[in-house]
Structure 1
């Protein structure tokens, strides 16, 4: 079968086929920020990747098909049985449908693919993960011999899982986080099925961020908040000082969930700034923190010192690592932090798209909220995405001022 000469089957077949944190954030958005408007922008970070016009048309066709989907009653019942999901949000989802009119999709970009979505935060937040999954699968099916890629995927998956089964790698508790950058729906399904059924030594496979597959294989749907939550709830109100984005985000999260569903993301406007707001109340209420940029060992040791400084035993809190992990890196981190804190891992591309070719490094990020720029300034350069460098400079100056001038009262 020649690449690019066939019509693909529908890639996204269920509205549950998204990351769990989209429902976590979605419920809080519905209850507290339903009037917020956001713009999302696609970016391909690979320098040698080009999307053909045929790929762009197929991506457009697949997104139109996604926009036809509705939640089934069986899916809604599954969501309502998740302890932190409320009936009012489920009723909203019963009516919800993606709007293709919210999308702009064309070839007006350096990589050959431009995607932008504009609309309510309630809608546009839900588009990110299915869109990225569609882009990935279209690209790999049309650019390469997919059958050969899938065979290399299966071989590599079997080899790495065997090393967890025999105890070569000790991963403590880990989950699969690879929906947005998976080779294909078929590949991610196989990976989750294999891990869910494997008899693992010294490791526990908790679940997957893909709610559809969590339901299918009776494992835990894993995920709480993403950078968009801090960016929009903290910077979307133009009266807010953006250096306090984390406080606004944590406050709104606790109003929604109390002590439930609480893993805080630390690096949206640097972990140092996050720790200014992650004081005794929030550090007690949240069950742990997630690492997504910067040196993971330095970050983990910093978090342990912070908990200890607040009089909290770090052994009662979870350090969740999720930045570009493979089993070897996770094993080293577990061995380093074992006994110091609870340790968990969210492992994405290494599980869902490990083949003989390089995976795509694609993202879709919030670039505006309520008509104003928003930005992420993580613990390393290159992970942020904002169209207005003047706003990034303003945000950085606000952060710097707070870190150098703010003192405890």
Structure 2
């Protein structure tokens, strides 16, 4: 059994789920799996994935876990009560071989948003671990340990980088659950205060680390159906977040419609209300320079705001970004696959993204080629670009 706790997921699943419970409990959604790594045959894993899904759906939150969630300042007591009754249901998930692409699989999650939002991260972790068990059964973790020690030494021992803090964002693409735990234990012991925390709630609870996260792409995508009109969907999503958290969890995700559209919507009100913004696609230095200039143009001191970088980071990239932005703003770095799946074999690039909400298509227009979601519906993608005044891809 790969997933042994419903807390073994990213914090932003809980923070988004709380908004869904309070504001959109009737929303119906669809998610789809995609493997961006070419030439990967996942079909032989289907039966094992189904078995792990059944095990996942047998889990319930324990009293200890509920008490931990209730101790987080932004989690409401009624949400904890709801989670005490919560259980995932496999009827919302189908796992089949692709009918059009040999070797590929189709995982479709469809049902109430409130009851399907928790599938994504554990399912991705399951696919990853099963793949590496099947294809690299003899992989030694000694190479991973050596690489991890080198990363720690680079960050900890290079003069001028003592204030750099990183967080683990690596649950969904980890080599294994056991390796994830070892990585976090070593990081905690060796980096000390330079480890800001982890996105994984279970490991945060077990290791006394800070759980980190706010919103993901699916949250803003859903408002393409939930919002008052499509052009106002990004603004509506940020407004709903502010209603829920009243200034807490104030990191806005900036790349669902690209940076140009984000900055048009992120006006002086949002600049002052939110603590900062997260980068997840496109050139990070160009992105950061533009966001800081946007704060200045809106009469907000950028030194009081946080830029969060989380797109395919490794330690050298973290240090490069720190050199460029240090002293100009507050900084946070989320490192994922490079921490939890850098043991030798090539890591998989797999995602599960929302594709429909309330029967309507939803999409993501990324600043990075290959990260857009919704390309299966080119007419809707083109319409979305026109509405948000974006150039053709």
- How would you bin the TM-score normalised by the shorter chain? over 0.9
User: For residue 368 of structure 2, what is the aligned residue in structure 1?
Assistant: 380
Q: Are 1:249 and 2:237 matched, yes or no?
A: yes
Once the two structures are superposed, the pairs formed by residues 71-110 of structure 1 within 5 Å of their partners are 71-108=61-98, 110=101
What secondary structure does 2:41 align onto?
A: coil
Once the two structures are superposed, the pairs formed by residues 325-340 of structure 1 within 5 Å of their partners are 325-340=313-328
Task: Summarize deviations over 1:294-315 as a string: whole Å, max 9, x none.
Answer: 1100000001101001111100
Task: Summarize deviations over 1:148-178 as a string: whole Å, max 9, x none.
Answer: 2x23222211221122231268372210000
Q: Are 1:347 and 2:335 matched, yes or no?
A: yes
8 A Cα contact 1:243 1:273, kept in partner = no
8 A Cα contact 2:32 2:107, kept in partner = yes
Q: Are 1:37 and 2:28 matched, yes or no?
A: yes
Once the two structures are superposed, the pairs formed by residues 10-21 of structure 1 within 5 Å of their partners are 10-21=1-12
Distance 1:373 1:216, change over 3 A: same
Which 4+ runs in 1 deviate beyond 6 A? none
What secondary structure does 1:332 align onto?
A: helix
- Per the TM alignment, residue 224 of structure 1 is displaced from its structure 2 partner at its CA by 0.2
8 A Cα contact 2:152 2:191, kept in partner = no
Aligned pair partner of 2:304 in 305, 308, 316: 316
Q: Are 1:305 and 2:296 matched, yes or no?
A: no
8 A Cα contact 1:36 1:236, kept in partner = no
Q: Distance in 2 between matches of 1:145 and 1:73?
A: 36
User: For residue 287 of structure 1, what is the aligned residue in structure 2?
Assistant: 275
- Per the TM alignment, residue 197 of structure 1 is displaced from its structure 2 partner at its CA by 1.4
Q: Distance in 1 between matches of 2:125 and 2:372?
A: 21
8 A Cα contact 1:169 1:328, kept in partner = no
8 A Cα contact 1:137 1:183, kept in partner = yes
Aligned length: 387
Distance 1:295 1:286, change over 3 A: same
- Per the TM alignment, residue 13 of structure 1 is displaced from its structure 2 partner at its CA by 0.4
Q: Distance in 2 between matches of 1:224 and 1:169?
A: 29
Distance 1:383 1:25, change over 3 A: same
Which stretch of structure 1 is more off in the superposition, 280-289 or 96-105?
Answer: 280-289
Q: Are 1:398 and 2:387 matched, yes or no?
A: yes
Aligned pair partner of 2:345 in 354, 357, 370: 357
User: For residue 127 of structure 2, what is the aligned residue in structure 1?
Assistant: 135
User: For residue 189 of structure 2, what is the aligned residue in structure 1?
Assistant: 197
Q: Distance in 1 between matches of 2:147 and 2:245?
A: 39
What secondary structure does 1:290 align onto?
A: strand
User: For residue 354 of structure 2, what is the aligned residue in structure 1?
Assistant: 366
What do you get for the CA RMSD once the two structures are aligned? 1.5
User: For residue 166 of structure 2, what is the aligned residue in structure 1?
Assistant: 174
Q: Distance in 1 between matches of 2:132 and 2:339?
A: 16
8 A Cα contact 2:355 2:362, kept in partner = yes
- Per the TM alignment, residue 112 of structure 1 is displaced from its structure 2 partner at its CA by 3.1
Q: Distance in 2 between matches of 1:32 and 1:396?
A: 28
Which stretch of structure 1 is more off in the superposition, 281-290 or 222-231?
Answer: 281-290
Once the two structures are superposed, the pairs formed by residues 245-284 of structure 1 within 5 Å of their partners are 245-284=233-272
What secondary structure does 1:85 align onto?
A: coil
Q: Distance in 1 between matches of 2:81 and 2:160?
A: 43
Q: Distance in 2 between matches of 1:178 and 1:207?
A: 12
8 A Cα contact 1:153 1:187, kept in partner = no
- Per the TM alignment, residue 356 of structure 1 is displaced from its structure 2 partner at its CA by 1.5
Task: Summarize deviations over 1:334-390 as a string: whole Å, max 9, x none.
Answer: 010001111110000000000211100000000010001000002123211213111
Task: Summarize deviations over 1:219-271 as a string: whole Å, max 9, x none.
Answer: 11100000101010x2123x743232210110000000011111000010111
User: For residue 49 of structure 2, what is the aligned residue in structure 1?
Assistant: 59
Q: Distance in 2 between matches of 1:191 and 1:161?
A: 11
Q: Distance in 2 between matches of 1:307 and 1:332?
A: 22
8 A Cα contact 1:243 1:269, kept in partner = no
